Chains A and B, each alone.
Chain A
Amino acid sequence: MTAIHTRGLTKRYPEVAALDGVTVRLDENRIHGLLGRNGAGKTTLMQLLTGQVFATSGEMQVLGGTPVENVEVLSQTVFIQESQKYPDTFRAVDVLRIAAGAYPNWDQAYADRLVEQYRLPTKRLIKKLSRGQLSAIGIVIGLASRAPLTFFDEPYLGLDAVARQMFFDDLLADYTAHPRTIVLSTHHIDEVANLLEHVVILDQGKVLLEADTDDLHDAAITVSGKATAVDAFLSGREVLDRKALGTLATATFTPRDGDELAAREAGLDLSPVSLQALFVHLTTANAASAAEATDIRRASDRAIV
């Protein structure tokens, strides 16, 4: 079943189109990655899907209904927002107490265990907590709420390496024991790449790529060899990135069927492209083509003048 389905979802602010015609379909009970650079529209998309902001245009279905002012949908949804504001006078214990009442599936014993595990000082004012401790509050709520639809927005900002590994282990263990739909938004991809079953890459408010991670292995390949051989091979292919050093060149491209064999026969070395590298290539290429489009527009403007 589909947990989230959007069609042409758009959110415009006076200065900027934060989200521009986003169409995605996220299946139930999977771990989805929502990837994008800062300002790509990840948070806006999740705010729309949780009814926190209103769409300018487009449609969305969340757990079978529209999320806006919908108790049935929202009571099954938890959104751990990276920039969540808490009242000045709140301590972690206050937030956890409210969360316990707000989420029907809340597991208090599990929450207590997590609090201990992440060494969260529950009696200190939240505004005095470190970035990592703030993230820990979100992790405790996001996991212990066991909501059928769980959004994590940059959940491990400020956590040290040990705590990050702890989070990945906790997430996996609890997801295995209580399968649910999880949307993990981040721009630090390498560490979570193996946890994701499906990814959406956003850039400048648009969907750059949506695919199952298993299929992404063939989404791009890096070839290297003599510059002349590399360039000859690349002609007519969709190049994402090319670098040269002296007579040697390395290039990443989007392969079609048979390209791997052809590259080997051309005497080129092949290497796989990690999700993080693919993400960097795609967003960089997108930025370059956007700049190019602007240049062309400027040039034609000048021509008209």
Chain B
Amino acid sequence: MRIRNVVQLHTVNKLQAFGWPLIIMSLSLTLVLVIGALIVNVGGAGAREGMNQGMQYSGAIFALLGPLIGFGFTAMGQYFPLALGFGLTRREFAAGTLLVFLGNALFYAVIVTIGKVIEVATGGFGLSVRFFDVVYTGLGEWWQTLIQTFLLIFMVMLVGAAITTAFHRWGQSFLWIFWIALALLILPVVAGFLLSEDFRAFAGQVGAMGWVPWMGVILGFAVVGGGTWLALVRRAQAR
């Protein structure tokens, strides 16, 4: 197995693999700090507390997670044809790429966790801002953030790779079916929220379920996405 070559394929361009995500993250963090500094100086203690509450849901961290979501798509869309071109087998590509996904997820999960620990310890960098310590990365203990961020990134990459592979296999018709299926899933949920008191209560219960079940859900998506991807990639053809 020439897994080293596949890993190299994904990481040969260091700036692309590690540089840009971290640069964009730093810019985003700087922006949050500037906003924090403005609010703290202009508003009073109340504004500070309100900002800290509101920023629990701040998506600024997606400046880092966003490029990683695209990683699964580009892995299949751009790197797979090149891997075949270099005479690498599908099995080697899948194994190496899985390793890269794992490594990436771990690398960025560690970065986020370190950021969170510092953020919590310094009271939001002394400005009560939240960047790393948000709902998406987990508001609990540091190890929960580590696990949650790792699972989230890993899952998103696998699902992205699966979708791209399926799109390559079945073309536009897959996308239609995919969107229709997604709509069929989401519509009843939306309708339930709007029309049924019972559904709202049920959804509230689901939302409030513990951290562990939520991790189970993410893991479930990762397993389905990964399984689909691995099954499809073994029969994927160059285009």
Contacts and interface: CB of A to CB of B under 8 A. Distances in A.
Interface of A: 47, 50-54, 69-71, 74-75, 77-79, 81, 84-91, 94-95, 97-99, 101-103
Query: What DSSP secondary structure best describes chain B's contact surface?
Result: helix
Nearest to A67: B87
Contacts of A97: 8, 12
A79 B87 contact: yes
B172 interface: no
Contacts of B86: 98-99, 102
Given A85-B82, A90-B13, A101-B8, A75 B74 contact: no
A266 to B, nearest CB: 53
B24 to A, nearest CB: 14
B87 A78 contact: yes
9 contacts: A69-B89, A71-B2, A75-B87, A87-B82, A90-B12, A91-B13, A97-B12, A102-B2, A102-B86
A6 B9 CA distance: 32
A74 B91 CA distance: 13
A85 B238 CA distance: 10
Nearest to B84: A52
Given A89-B13, A89-B16, A94-B13, A102 B88 contact: yes
A54 B234 CA distance: 11
Nearest to A80: B85
Contacts of B87: 50, 74-75, 77-79, 102-103
Given A52-B238, A53-B238, A74 B5 contact: no
B155 to A, nearest CB: 23
A98 B5 contact: yes
Contacts of B85: 52, 79, 81, 84
A54 B91 contact: no
Nearest to A78: B87
Given A84-B85, A102-B86, A102-B88, A53 B78 contact: no
Nearest to B81: A85
B197 to A, nearest CB: 50
Contacts of A79: 85, 87
B237 A52 contact: yes
A86 B84 CA distance: 11
Contacts, number: 72
Contacts of A75: 2, 87
A69 B78 contact: no
Contacts of A84: 81-82, 85
A208 to B, nearest CB: 25
Given A69-B91, A97-B8, 13 more contacts: A52-B237, A53-B237, A69-B89, A77-B87, A79-B87, A81-B85, A86-B78, A87-B13, A90-B13, A91-B13, A95-B82, A99-B86, A102-B5
Contacts of B12: 90, 94, 97-98
Contacts of B8: 97-98, 101
B136 interface: no
Interface in B132-174: none
A98 B79 CA distance: 12
Nearest to A97: B12
A71 B1 contact: yes
A69 B74 CA distance: 22
A145 to B, nearest CB: 9
A256 B198 CA distance: 90
Contacts of B81: 84-85
Interface in B38-82: 74, 78-79, 81-82
A94 B85 CA distance: 14
Contacts of B1: 71
A258 B12 CA distance: 64
Contact of B78 (A54, A71, A85, A94): A85
Contacts of B238: 47, 52-53
A89 B9 CA distance: 12
A110 B82 CA distance: 23
B200 interface: no
A69 B88 contact: no
Nearest to B4: A101
Contact of A98 (B9, B90, B237): B9
Nearest to A52: B238
Given A85-B78, A85-B81, A89-B13, A101 B5 contact: yes
A75 B87 CA distance: 6
A249 to B, nearest CB: 48
A99 B12 CA distance: 11
